[in-house]
Amino acid sequence: MDFILEPWPWYVGGPLITLIMFFLYYFGKKFGISSNLESICAMGGAGKLHEFFAFDWKKNSWNLMFIVGTVIGGFIAFKFMTPDQAILLNPETVTDLADIGFQNAGAQYLPEELFGLDALLSLKGGAILVIAGILVGFGARYAGGCTSGHAITGLSNLELPSLIAVIGFFIGGLIMTWLILPLLF
Amino acid sequence: MKNIRFIILGILFGIILSKAEVISWYRIYEMFKFQSFHMYGIIGSAVVLGIILFSFFKKGTIKNYLGDKIEIEPKKKGFYRTIIGGIIFGLGWGLIGACPGPMFILLGRGVLSILIVIFGGLLGVLLYHIIKHKLPH
């Protein structure tokens, strides 16, 4: 039982993700999370704004149920399966983060500096949250998929577009982490 | 309620990404800093096993629950859409440390701020479809 409560290593997490992908295909579906954002827009009446969203989102209800499940799963893991909320980081990472203004790196899953109430209620913090969301949503649909659709499914299927997209994910992530984040904090 | 199986798979997926700490902003940060093998191990092992799994789908060794061959829909082609879209996505991923799956999982932890990120994500999707005819694909 102790193993369940400890952080799971990569060689447990990675294969289990593939197992989830297997079951989605076994049940006649696919593995792709970001298309749910389109379904939610359609559900919310975005069909009035743009014809693209006039599709019948109910045909994607299986995928919406999947993300409802992820919310429940996140709650269960948080409440009952993670007695220690610390993330064990490389000391170098902790020092690097302290240098750019992130205190107590790894004390919890998320940094207060980005997700805390103070950040949420400040103009800069709120703007960062909205802009990050816009970049993720816009980029995922422009590229035709996110980490699940491109990095996992697409690469598993040896798709060239997915390889290009994943290279793009890394270019963007490296620019943000190395160049922009230090300027923001 | 045929969809109950997808809720269960979603619950398991939420638990897996939580316990493997994929939903932690720090794990994404350290990945882009090349300071830990963790995320590379997760994505790498998932893809290697995925390649093996998909080869069984293609050969027809593994069929779906109805006994039919499993088809994998090819991705949309286009250099500009994948590279530019990918970079934009990466900028957001590097900033907030959460891609769409983890956003919803973090919501389950009661992280209020993530609602703003999800709201931004929906805005981004809307914006893309409104201006997509002006973008190179």
* pLDDT, tens digit (0-9, with 9 covering 90-100), for B82-104: 999 999 999 999 999 999 999 99
pLDDT mean values, one per 10 residues, chain A (185 residues): 91 98 97 96 94 95 97 98 95 97 95 96 97 98 95 97 98 98 94
Which A residues in the span 27-66 are in contact with B, Cβ-Cβ below 8 Å? Answer: 27-30, 33-34, 36-38, 40-41, 44, 46, 49-50, 52-53, 61-63, 65-66
* pLDDT, tens digit (0-9, with 9 covering 90-100), for B12-28: 999 999 999 999 999 99
Contact B83 A165 (CB under 8 A): yes
* pLDDT, tens digit (0-9, with 9 covering 90-100), for B48-87: 999 999 999 999 999 999 999 999 999 999 999 999 999 9
Contact B53 A8 (CB under 8 A): no
Q: Would you state the pLDDT for residue B110?
A: 95
From the list B16, B29, B78, the residue facing A20 with the nearest CB is: B16
Which A residues in the span 89-118 are in contact with B, Cβ-Cβ below 8 Å? Answer: 89-90, 92-93, 96-97, 105-106, 109-111, 114-117
Q: Would you state the pLDDT for residue A48?
A: 93
> B30 pLDDT exceeds 90?
yes
Contact B91 A139 (CB under 8 A): yes
Q: What's the rounded Cα separation, in Å, for the pair A149 and A140?
A: 9
Q: Would you state the pLDDT for residue A3?
A: 87
From the list A53, A71, A129, the residue facing B113 with the nearest CB is: A129
Q: Please state the separation of Cα A125 from the chain's center in Å.
A: 19
Contact B108 A176 (CB under 8 A): no
Residue A74 tokens read as 């996140």
- Could you give the C-alpha distances from A142 to A34, A40, A149, in angstroms and in order? 11, 17, 13
Which A residues in the span 146-185 are in contact with B, Cβ-Cβ below 8 Å? Answer: 146-162, 164-178, 180-181
* pLDDT, tens digit (0-9, with 9 covering 90-100), for A142-159: 999 999 999 999 999 999
The answer to whether A127 and B42 are in contact (CB under 8 A) is: no
The sign of the dihedral angle between the CA atoms of B130, B133, B136, B137 is: positive
Q: Is the ipTM of this complex over 0.90?
A: yes
